[in-house]
A and B are shown apart, each in its own frame.
Chain A
Amino acid sequence: MSDCKIVEVKNVSFKYEKEWAVEHVNFSLDKGQFVALIGPNGSGKSTLVKLILGLIKPTVGSIQVFNELIKRFNNWQEIGYISQKSNSFNAGFPASVLEVVKSGLVSRLGMFRFLKREHTQKALEALKVVEMEEFARSSIGELSGGQLQRVFIARALISAPSLLILDEPTVGIDAKHVTDFYDLLGRLNKKTGITLLMITHDIDTITKHATHIACMNKTISFHGTSDEYNQYNEQDLKPSYEHMDQQLIRNNYVEVTS
């Protein structure tokens, strides 16, 4: 594995009780890439992300993160994560924006080390990156969906991770703010060199921002640059959702009948 590989997934399959959610996935993520992971619902995208994060263990295969097997990996400050659940968090939670952003330092500080005044400064800097510093003292429940996502990015960025993983971060956000959000991610990727892996359904918009596209339907059916993906599109060979849906139906059919 070369040094520039951030994530390497080798022949990974995962089974939820009876059903295979992910099958024979080979996938890698190089340093500095902005990869959009697309695919229909139930295609195993979130499961793959959870496997990469070590939240669940693969049934078959191996995963390496920063050149280390995921089960031995403990350098969690290198990874920032914004989950799907971030969109449906408890809006009545009594926390200020600053407190939420500072909570992103938990992995970097570790146990028995305390948050200090300098960390407030760091949190303000992270909020400045996402253009949210004026909301630092606001309650988290007062923010809109788009503003919340920016705060969660600031929370992820405060520990200066090398990899940021986002699971459908734009659900429930209007089209204008989605474009602003992707612009922000694109700028971060170019400016800081942070590696991004994002699950999304906004195929048309994301191809303008991501450097690479990976299509998934239990397995990775396409993985290439955005230009290559658009070329496929022009040649009408793009692995569309309809195509992937049919594949999903076929897979299920084979499993049910076999």
Chain B
Amino acid sequence: MFEAFFRYDFLQNAAMTGILIGLVAPLLGVFIVVRRLSLIADALSHITLTGIAASLLLEKKVSGINDLNPVFLGMAFSVLGAVLIEWIRKLYKNYEELAIPIILSGGIGLGVLLISLADGFNTDLFSYLFGSVAAVSRSNMWTVLFITCIVIIIVFLFYKELFVLSFDEEHATVSGVKGKWIHLLFILMVALVIASSMQVVGILLVSALMTLPVASALRITKSFKQTIVLSVLFGEISVIVGLVSAYHLGVPPGGTIVMIAILILILTTALKKVSIQFFWTKRRA
């Protein structure tokens, strides 16, 4: 089942990148979910598409930049989108959530415009939307490894600040936590992880990898650290099983990864229900 992944370079790239993303996306996802920012991941993934479209357009219209990796411009747009979201949130203090639909629709609108200007692309845009086992290059894998290391170091260094900001923002402020800077740093990490995840999971499904494993973990955990560990575990299972089955079925990995994550969610929900019923039966007896 895994033989092909040991034999072919392109599959090794996809597997390695997938494993890194399966670690880092749910790790940030835990903070995203508990801070009720799940939709930010969607907005940033859509603005990443704009970056991809801009890169592909440049590649087509401007001679001499054939080797431009679309992932880098996608990352730049994602980071820009993150900064814009923060700026709009400050602009509309009483309607902060407006920032998300503005960036999401703006990103898609501009993306469609850029795609139309290029009269369609030679490159398979489908692989950016839903992921591709074959699309991950060795250089992409190194980029994702670099981003993963940065994210893990930052989360490790600022773990207690991120926890206190997520649990009680006012308490964090009174404790002297520089909430604005840490939030900006966090949202920039989210932007980078989203942009780097898109080749495996696809732009339209990347937010699922950040939220679904966390949703499953939330059903059965009692502490924050447990939630992180289980979310990462569920993320890894989803990515590995999803990638292998996508390769064998010949379908985009985004779909299989998300469906495995959904299956885990169903299982954990069922497990919780069974354990509650068991508890009550035991108590009555």
Contacts and interface: CB of A to CB of B under 8 A. Distances in A.
Interface in A98-156: 98-100, 103-107, 109-112, 114-115, 137-139, 155
Given A85-B168, A92-B218, A106 B223 contact: no
A55 interface: yes
A137 B167 contact: no
A48 to B, nearest CB: 15
Given A79-B174, A94-B34, A106 B164 contact: yes
Contacts of B218: 92, 94
Given A99-B223, A103-B160, A107-B176, A93 B167 contact: yes
Contacts of A100: 167
A86 B172 CA distance: 12
Nearest to B176: A76
Given A90-B34, A94-B34, A95-B224, A106 B173 contact: no
A110 B218 CA distance: 29
Contacts of B158: 111
Contact of B224 (A99, A104, A107): A99
A203 B217 CA distance: 44
Nearest to B225: A99
B170 A103 contact: no
B168 A89 contact: yes
Interface string A40-64: 0000000000000101000000000
Contacts of B224: 94-96, 99
Contacts, number: 83
A138 B222 CA distance: 7
Contact of B157 (A94, A106, A107, A112): A112
Nearest to B174: A81
A85 B168 CA distance: 8
Nearest to B166: A93
Nearest to A94: B227
Nearest to B231: A94
Contacts of B160: 103, 105-106, 109, 114-115
Contact of A103 (B167, B176, B225, B227): B167
Contacts of B221: 94
Interface residues of B, number: 29
Contacts of B272: none
Contacts of B177: 106
B123 interface: no
Contact of A96 (B157, B161, B222): B222
B231 to A, nearest CB: 10
A74 interface: yes
A227 B177 CA distance: 40
A83 interface: yes
Contact of A106 (B166, B172, B222): B172
Contacts of B217: 94
A106 B177 CA distance: 8
B94 interface: no
Nearest to B172: A106
B171 interface: yes
A61 B158 CA distance: 36
Contacts of A110: 176
Given A107-B176, A112-B157, A81 B171 contact: yes
Interface in B205-235: 217-218, 221-227
Interface string B191-210: 00000000000000000000
Contacts of A95: 163, 167, 223-224
Interface of A: 53, 55, 74, 76, 79, 81, 83, 85-86, 89-90, 92-96, 98-100, 103-107, 109-112, 114-115, 137-139, 155
17 contacts: A53-B174, A55-B170, A74-B176, A81-B170, A83-B171, A89-B167, A90-B34, A93-B34, A94-B218, A94-B222, A98-B223, A106-B160, A109-B160, A110-B176, A114-B160, A137-B223, A139-B222
